[in-house]
Amino acid sequence: MEQAPPDLERQWQPAPLEPLGHPDAELQAAVDEEAEVSRDEGPGDGTMTENNFGLKKIEISVSEAEKRTGRNAMNMQETYTAYLIETRSVEHTDGQSVLTDSLWRRYSEFELLRNYLLVYYPHIVVPPLPEKRAEFVWHKLSADNMDPDFVERRRIGLENFLLRVASHPILCRDKIFYLFLTQEGNWKETVNETGFQLKADSRLKALNATFRVKNPDKRFTELKHYSDELQSVISHLLRVRARVADRLYGVYKVHGNYGRVFSEWSAIEKEMGDGLQSAGHHMDVYASSIDDILEDEEHYADQLKEYLFYAEALRAVCRKHELMQYDLEMAAQDLASKKQQCEELATGTVRTFSLKGMTTKLFGQETPEQREARIKVLEEQINEGEQQLKSKNLEGREFKFGPMLRNALARCNPVK
């Protein structure tokens, strides 16, 4: 493998995030961890990894959520939730943080940001967003996006997303990301102006399309396989967990029935009356305790979902690599055949069967001018092809850093 410039290599160590889900988690912690990691693994000082937006440490938090009503694209009234993003810069000297920016964003804008990042950084495993709709729901949990518990968990998920992007050495430098945090108005237009939607390769949308790659990179194949398996096992786990929660809910709630009957029974008893009444009361308390218990467990489920989506993102990177590899092979193949054609024309030898050869034999040879013209066209195409190949090779090199991401993922929080 070609020796990559030292800067690039060091930049490829994304920082693990600790602790997760903490509302005002400081970037400082993440940055420190990253600095530590880079010290262990590579040469160089810590200056490169500590920075964001030009030598300044920042804190990001999604601190509030608010219900809003507005008009959508079809001019129909809709209700949605907006989230307050606050950015603080931390002064080196006294450690105090100053609020530098604060604006409101809704989920769809987060989605837009992420889709943009996915297109512009195909070789990076872009951190996941919390789910768009509540899935793996057990029956009592409200599948309603307006449910306060759901909104709260989404708030945490959105914050984690921003913190992870901000702590990524490459993604954090993105201008659109910076504007997302700082420019409230017109941000959507700015993103769309980049034309990223056009850049997106539509072939990737066909999830099951296979690209026959002659020399697949084993590491990527393994990684893709792992991400498939991980997705499958986590989905299964979430489904079973939802059923378990449902059943557990049933057990607790039926105990609530004891409450009423013990109370009724206590009415006809003398000595036992108080005891039975108290027992009934405790049954009610028991029955109602399950709501909080299961709500807490949803946070665990959320973390599982995070990694489910992460696995998806990983798989996407592998697929993009596959596609890129495929294009590379196709381009190389095309180039080779054109070179051969060119050679044949130049030397006048026909090595392979071609229609032109046949027609020449049948109808006479073409004029030298015609031949020259054709050679010229081919040579141009060859040049183009070589350029393309070069750039694709460069892209490919970037992808080769993929496996390091797996290490980074494994270092992230273990399962609770």
Chain CA centroid to CA 382, Å: 38
Q: Which of residues 35-74 bind another protein (CB under 8 A)?
A: 37, 40
Among 139, 243, 351, 376, binds another protein (CB under 8 A): 243
Q: Does 292 bind another protein (CB under 8 A)?
A: no
Backbone angles phi, psi at 301, to 5 degrees: -60, -40
Q: What residues between 259 and 278 interact with another protein by CB under 8 A? A: 261-262, 264-265, 268, 271-272, 275
For tokens 């004891």, name the residue: 258
- Contact between residue 318 and residue 220 where contact means Cβ atoms under 8 Å apart: yes
Angstrom distance (rounded) from CA 223 to CA 402: 9
Min CB(208)–another protein separation in Å: 22
State the DSSP code for 56: B
Whether residue 216 contacts residue 225, with contact meaning beta carbons closer than 8 Å, is answered with no
Interface with another protein (CB under 8 A), residue from 80, 178, 211, 258: 258
Work out how close the CB of 285 gets to another protein at its nearest, in angstroms, rounded to a whole number: 13
For residues 171 and 169, give the distance between their C-alpha atoms in angstroms, rounded to a whole number: 6
Question: Counting contacts by CB under 8 A, is residue 346 touching another protein?
Answer: no
148: cis peptide before it, omega within 30°?
no
Nearer to another protein, 213 or 234 (CB): 234
Binding of another protein by 410 (CB under 8 A) = yes
CA 46 – CA 33 distance, rounded (Å): 11
C-alpha distances in angstroms, 409 versus 13, 28, 57, 156, 413? 10, 20, 24, 20, 9
- CB of 194 or CB of 413, closer to another protein: 413
- 318 part of the interface to another protein, by CB under 8 A: no
Q: Using CB under 8 A as the criterion, what x/- string covers residues 212-231 for binding another protein?
A: --------------x--xx-
**All residues at 6 or more sequence positions from 38 whose CB lies less than 8 Å from its CB, including other chains:** 10, 13, 44, 46, 49
H or E element in which residue 90 lies = strand 77-90
- Least Å distance, CB 33 to another protein, is 11
**416, 303 contact by CB (below 8 A):** yes
> Does residue 293 touch another protein according to CB under 8 A?
no
Residue 112 burial (CB count, 10 A): 19
Nearer to another protein, 73 or 268 (CB): 268
From 127-135, 165-173, 244-252, 325-333, span contacting another protein (CB under 8 A): 244-252
92 contacts another protein (rule: CB under 8 A): no
What is the Cα gyration radius of the chain?
Answer: 30
Q: Which C-beta is closer to another protein: that of 143 or that of 272?
A: 272
| 296 touches another protein by CB under 8 A | no
Is 404 a binding residue for another protein by CB under 8 A? The answer is: no
Contact with another protein (CB under 8 A) among 132, 203, 236, 361: 236
Burial class, 304, CB count within 10 angstroms (exposed 0-12 / middle 13-18 / buried 19+): middle
Min separation Cβ 411 and another protein, Å: 8
Residues 6+ apart with CB under 8 A from 127: 160, 161, 164, 165, 168, 310, 313
Output the smallest distance, CB 247 to another protein, in A.
Answer: 4
Helices (H) and strands (E) in the chain, counts: 13, 3
Q: Report the distance separating Cα 15 and Cα 37, nearest Å.
A: 8
Residue with the two structure tokens 């032109």: 356
Which is nearer to another protein, 233 or 346 (by Cβ)? 233
Of the pair 105, 224, the CB lying nearest another protein is at 224
Q: Does 244 bind another protein (CB under 8 A)?
A: yes
Q: How many chain residues touch another protein (CB under 8 A)?
A: 35
Q: Specify which residues 71 forms β-bridges with.
A: 77
Per-residue contact flags (x/-) with another protein for residues 128 to 147, judged by CB under 8 A: --------------------
Q: Which residues of this protein are in contact with another protein, per CB under 8 A?
A: 37, 40, 226, 229-230, 233-234, 236-237, 240-241, 243-244, 247-248, 250-251, 254-255, 257-258, 261-262, 264-265, 268, 271-272, 275, 279, 407, 410, 414-416
